[in-house]
Chain A
Amino acid sequence: MFELQNIEKRYTGVHVLKGVDFRIDDGEIIGLVGENGAGKSTLMKIIYGAVQQDGGTIQVDGETVTFRTPRDAMKMGVGMVYQEQSLIPNLTVMENIFLGFEKPFVRFGAIRWKKMAEAARVQLAKVGLDIDPATITSRLTFAQRQLVELAKVLALEERVEGKLVILLDEPTSVLSRDEIELLFSVVRALRRRASFIFVSHRLDEILALSDRIYVLKDGAVVDVMTAKDASIATIQKEMVGRDISNEYYREDRQIPYDENKVLLELDHVGVAGRGNDVSLRLHAGEVLALVGVEGSGREPILRTIFGMLRPDRGTLRIRGKPVRSFSPSHSVAHGIGYIPRERKIEGIASGMNVFENMTLSQMKNYTKGSVLNISAERKLAREWIGKLSIKVPSEYADCGNLSGGNQQKVVLAKWRSGGSDIILLDHPTRGLDIGAKEDVYAMIRDMSADGVGIILIADTLEEAIGLSHTIAVIKDGDIKKWFNCQPGAKPSLYNLIQHMV
Chain B
Amino acid sequence: MNRFLAMETLRKWVPLLVLAGLCLFFTAMNPHFLTLRNFARIAISSSPALMVAIGVMFVILMGSIDLSMEGTVAVCAVLFALTLNALGGSIAGRGWVAIPVALFAGAVMGAVNGLVHVRLRIPSFMASLSLGFIGIGLSLLITGGDRILIDDPLFRSLLTVRVGGFPLMMYAALACLLVAWFIQDHTTTGRNFYAVGGGEELARASGLNVGRLRIIGFVLAGIFYALGAIFAVARLGIAETETGRNFMFMSITSVVVGGTALRGGEGGVWNTLIGVLIVNVIGNGMVVIGLADYFQDGVLGLLVITAVWLSTDRRSLSFVK
Residues of A within 8 A of B (CB): 11-14, 306, 308, 327-333, 338, 340, 342, 344-352, 356, 359-361, 363-364, 367, 370-372, 374, 414
Interface presence of B202 (CB below 8 A): yes
Chain A nearest Cβ from B212, distance in angstroms: 9
Mark B77-89 against chain A: 1 for CB-CB distance below 8 A, else 0. Answer: 0000000000000
With A345-B199, A346-B199 already in contact, 19 other A-B pairs whose C-beta atoms are closer than 8 Å: A12-B2, A13-B2, A308-B204, A328-B207, A328-B208, A329-B209, A332-B207, A340-B201, A346-B202, A347-B205, A349-B195, A352-B194, A352-B195, A352-B198, A352-B265, A360-B191, A363-B192, A371-B186, A372-B185
CA distance A139 to B114 in the complex (A): 34
Chain A residue nearest in CB terms to B197: A351
Are A363 and B199 in touch, CB under 8 angstroms? no
Chain B nearest Cβ from A267, distance in angstroms: 24
Q: Which residues of B contact A338 (CB under 8 A)?
A: 205
Mark B1-32 against chain A: 1 for CB-CB distance below 8 A, else 0. Answer: 11110000000000000000000000000000
Q: Which residues of A contact B204 (CB under 8 A)?
A: 308, 328, 346
Q: Which residues of B contact A13 (CB under 8 A)?
A: 1-2
Interface presence of B35 (CB below 8 A): no
CA distance A166 to B37 in the complex (A): 69
Q: Which residues of B contact A346 (CB under 8 A)?
A: 199, 201-202, 204-205
What are 17 A-B residue pairs whose CB atoms fall within 8 Å in the complex? Answer: A13-B1, A14-B1, A328-B206, A330-B207, A345-B201, A346-B199, A350-B265, A351-B266, A360-B208, A361-B208, A363-B191, A364-B188, A370-B188, A371-B186, A372-B186, A372-B188, A372-B191
In this complex, how many residues of chain B approach chain A with their Cβ under 8 Å: the count is: 27
CA distance A14 to B195 in the complex (A): 33
Chain A residue nearest in CB terms to B3: A12
CA distance A354 to B168 in the complex (A): 40
CA distance A351 to B202 in the complex (A): 13
Chain A residue nearest in CB terms to B207: A332
Are B199 and A329 in touch, CB under 8 angstroms? no
CA distance A361 to B195 in the complex (A): 10
Q: Which residues of A contact B130 (CB under 8 A)?
A: none
- The majority secondary structure among interface residues of chain B is helix
Interface presence of B189 (CB below 8 A): yes
Chain B residue nearest in CB terms to A330: B207
Are B202 and A349 in touch, CB under 8 angstroms? yes
Q: Which residues of A contact B191 (CB under 8 A)?
A: 356, 359-360, 363, 372
Are B203 and A360 in touch, CB under 8 angstroms? yes
CA distance A253 to B207 in the complex (A): 32
Are A350 and B208 in touch, CB under 8 angstroms? no
Are B192 and A11 in touch, CB under 8 angstroms? no
Are A329 and B207 in touch, CB under 8 angstroms? yes
Q: Which residues of A contact B186 (CB under 8 A)?
A: 371-372, 374
Chain B nearest Cβ from A341, distance in angstroms: 11
CA distance A60 to B96 in the complex (A): 83
Chain B residue nearest in CB terms to A347: B202
CA distance A330 to B204 in the complex (A): 11
Q: Which residues of A contact B197 (CB under 8 A)?
A: 351
Chain B residue nearest in CB terms to A369: B187
CA distance A263 to B195 in the complex (A): 29
CA distance A476 to B209 in the complex (A): 32
Q: Which residues of B179-231 have CB atoms within 8 Å of chain A's CB atoms?
A: 185-189, 191-192, 194-195, 197-199, 201-209
Q: Which residues of A contact B192 (CB under 8 A)?
A: 363
Are A349 and B194 in touch, CB under 8 angstroms? yes
Q: Which residues of B contact A14 (CB under 8 A)?
A: 1
Are B207 and A356 in touch, CB under 8 angstroms? no
